[in-house]
Chain A
Amino acid sequence: MIPTTVDQATLSREARVHPGSVVGDALTMTWRNLLRLTRNPELIVFSTVQPIIFVLMFRYVFGGAINVGGGIPYVDFLMAGVWVQSVTFGALNTGVGLAEDLQSGLIERFRSLPMARSAVLVGRTTADLVRNVFVVIVMTAVGFMVGFNYHTSALALVGALAIVLLFSYALSWLSALLGLLAPNAETAQAAFFPIVAVLVFASAAFVPVKTMPGWLQAFANHQPVTAVINAVRVLTLGGPTAGKVVSALLWIAAIIAVFAPLSIRRYRKVA
């Protein structure tokens, strides 16, 4: 027999948030997103090939023309730019994935299930972080193959890669917000692309900022992509690290602090 009333004790027990299920639901959603990724091998291939092409292209096409000075081989200078460039453009996946889930009505289903509400966003951004770990490792391997070398320590290199990944995670939240605001995946993509294109190309990614016109230098020197690249460069090429690393971490923290709450708020609103 179906109970027609539920007592107060049961209601308050059910309303309680169980930390275990918050983590569990986020992991389940991460699993779902990664499983989707494995079903789309073309996406894995192309999203990995693109950064590899960038490594090779910049290394061999521009490597001869661009002199970064200080006796540093261009490939060593380049890697920081390519890592950050790849995860920056790759962050698009978060917003596109959420926009697709919204469009298909899947998010509606998730919202009607007795699951933790945070799991959709956390699972999405976590899955994208895992994907980026893979992409960054592949790029680093290719980098070593074409002559990249770090001038510091293995530990500093790991620290540099960790900053790249943290930055990718922060950008996922910006992308998530655009994905939740956009009426469809195509619009999310169109909204995201110009923002990151400006951030990546008007940065220290591929050329030293001092080669740019003054007005552009002002922008390029004061934006997150440059801050993160500078931190990664000092960690891989050497130099005074503390200030640049702190500046990168502050940018990352600020992006998360702004866009995670906005995304969560937007997610609560969208139907």
Chain B
Amino acid sequence: MADATIVVQDVRKRFGDVVALDGVSFEVEAGTVLGLLGPNGAGKTTAVRILTTILPISEGRASVLGIDVAKHPESVRLRIGLAGQYAAVDEVLTGRENLRLVGRLCHLPKDESGARAEELLKRFGLSDAGDRSLKTYSGGMRRRLDLAAALVHRPPILFLDEPTTGLDPGSRLDLWAIISELVADGTTVLLTTQYLEEADRLADQIVVIDHGQVIAEGTATELKGRLGSTHIEVNVPLAQIDRARGALASVGEVALADTANGVAIQVADSGPAVIAAVRALDAAGIDVEALAVREPTLDDVFLELTGHSAEAEDAEVPA
């Protein structure tokens, strides 16, 4: 990659006996979004902490804009923004004060940090709430402010650690729109997430990690094509179930159905396959009671890749 903005080469990180990152390598191209996907405890946050100079590296190399994070952390910090999953903003202060505080700590002159705070409040739809204490903010507003705080010094690189975890669907969509806008403006983004849908929406490239190792990488489409599988499941009268199975076998591989009167098939591509399935069922004269399409989820991807479920993995990496 000629234009790699973030380069991670065989990075290892140990906390005592616990290996959080076990030889991770990936690159992020300038102006693109990389989604770091994995269950809790996979090492996503550790990777972000290393790249943002919060944690020292145990072995390997990592650089941001060609700057080695271990050798020149000050220079890295001048060029990155971090928004975390815990929405690290001061609860007691107002939105405006929080942004001014970050502005001052980034050494913007006083009037400029004030102007920048106004600009960001406006951009993130928080102007009216700017003088309210964060205690009165909703989860979505808090995340927007957290993201705004990461942008105060106009960093070309942005790290988003599970930016929408725990948010309601509406706030999640808002945040996705904002992130897309930033990318359109040329920001390079590294995003960690537990949601395949989020990576799918935002990321140009996805790196899947588990137990501190990269287990797959590619675009969302590539990964889904390779790993997950779309299931089509139809519910039919019990008497017709064998005939339905026969009809659908021509469309995709028959899989385990969720219900007793269901027939499920695994297909590569949902759109054309649904039409083919409906045609086959119609031609066989089956009375379809219900039809459902289930897209591959992170859990499917994980099951496929690792043999264990993403949700079951709750072990936290000690900090």
Q: List the interface of chain A (C-beta within 8 A of B).
A: 2-6, 10-11, 14-15, 21, 24-25, 28-29, 32, 35-36, 39-40, 104-106, 108-115, 119, 270-271
Whether A14 and B74, one on each chain, are in contact in the complex, defined by CB atoms closer than 8 angstroms, is yes
Whether B67 and A109, one on each chain, are in contact in the complex, defined by CB atoms closer than 8 angstroms, is no
B91 within 8 A of A: yes
Smallest Cβ distance from B235 to chain A, in angstroms? 46
Secondary structure of the A contact surface, majority rule:
helix
Whether B54 and A39, one on each chain, are in contact in the complex, defined by CB atoms closer than 8 angstroms, is no
Closest 4 CB pairs of A and B: A105-B86, A105-B88, A109-B88, A112-B82
Residues of B within 8 A of A5 (CB): 65-66
Smallest Cβ distance from A208 to chain B, in angstroms? 43
Whether B77 and A4, one on each chain, are in contact in the complex, defined by CB atoms closer than 8 angstroms, is no
What separation, in Å, do the CA atoms of A32 and B103 have in the docked complex?
A: 12
Residues of A within 8 A of B78 (CB): 14, 114
Whether B74 and A36, one on each chain, are in contact in the complex, defined by CB atoms closer than 8 angstroms, is no
Smallest Cβ distance from B291 to chain A, in angstroms? 45
Residues of A within 8 A of B75 (CB): 6, 10-11, 14-15
Residues of B within 8 A of A270 (CB): 319
* CB contact under 8 A between A109 and B30, given known A6-B66, A15-B75: no
Residues of A within 8 A of B149 (CB): 109
Interface size class, chain B: 35 or more
List B residues 33-61 near A (Cβ within 8 Å): 49, 52-55
* CB contact under 8 A between A4 and B3, given known A14-B75, A15-B75, A106-B88: yes
Give a binary string over B113-143; 1 marks a CB under 8 Å from any A CB, 0 the rest. Answer: 0000000000000000000010000000000
19 contacting pairs across A/B (C-beta < 8 A):
A2-B186, A2-B188, A4-B65, A5-B66, A15-B72, A35-B93, A36-B90, A39-B133, A40-B92, A105-B87, A109-B82, A109-B149, A110-B105, A111-B54, A112-B52, A112-B54, A112-B77, A113-B106, A114-B74
Smallest Cβ distance from B162 to chain A, in angstroms? 12
B224 within 8 A of A: no
Whether B84 and A108, one on each chain, are in contact in the complex, defined by CB atoms closer than 8 angstroms, is yes
What separation, in Å, do the CA atoms of A271 and B54 have in the docked complex?
A: 7
User: Nearest chain-A residue to B82 (Cβ)?
Assistant: A112
Smallest Cβ distance from B110 to chain A, in angstroms? 10
* CB contact under 8 A between A4 and B92, given known A14-B75, A113-B106: no
Whether B67 and A106, one on each chain, are in contact in the complex, defined by CB atoms closer than 8 angstroms, is no
Residues of A within 8 A of B55 (CB): 271
What separation, in Å, do the CA atoms of A114 and B53 have in the docked complex?
A: 11
Residues of B within 8 A of A271 (CB): 49, 54-55, 319
* CB contact under 8 A between A32 and B90, given known A109-B82, A114-B153: yes
Kindly name the residue among B65, B66, B102, B105 whose own CB sees the greatest number of chain A CB atoms within 10 A.
Answer: B105
User: Nearest chain-B residue to A116 (Cβ)?
Assistant: B105
Kindly name the residue among B31, B65, B74, B93 whose own CB sees the greatest number of chain A CB atoms within 10 A.
Answer: B74
Smallest Cβ distance from B85 to chain A, in angstroms? 8
Smallest Cβ distance from B115 to chain A, in angstroms? 17
Residues of B within 8 A of A4 (CB): 3, 5, 30, 65-66
Whether A104 and B91, one on each chain, are in contact in the complex, defined by CB atoms closer than 8 angstroms, is yes
* CB contact under 8 A between A35 and B72, given known A106-B89, A108-B84, A112-B52: no
Whether A114 and B88, one on each chain, are in contact in the complex, defined by CB atoms closer than 8 angstroms, is no
B107 within 8 A of A: yes
Whether A104 and B86, one on each chain, are in contact in the complex, defined by CB atoms closer than 8 angstroms, is yes
B204 within 8 A of A: no
User: Nearest chain-A residue to B149 (Cβ)?
Assistant: A109
* Residue in A2, A11, A36 whose CB lies within 8 Å of B92: A36
B80 within 8 A of A: yes
Smallest Cβ distance from B131 to chain A, in angstroms? 12
Residues of B within 8 A of A108 (CB): 49, 54, 82, 84, 86, 88
User: Nearest chain-A residue to B86 (Cβ)?
Assistant: A105
What separation, in Å, do the CA atoms of A63 and B102 have in the docked complex?
A: 51
Residues of A within 8 A of B153 (CB): 114
Smallest Cβ distance from A60 to chain B, in angstroms? 37
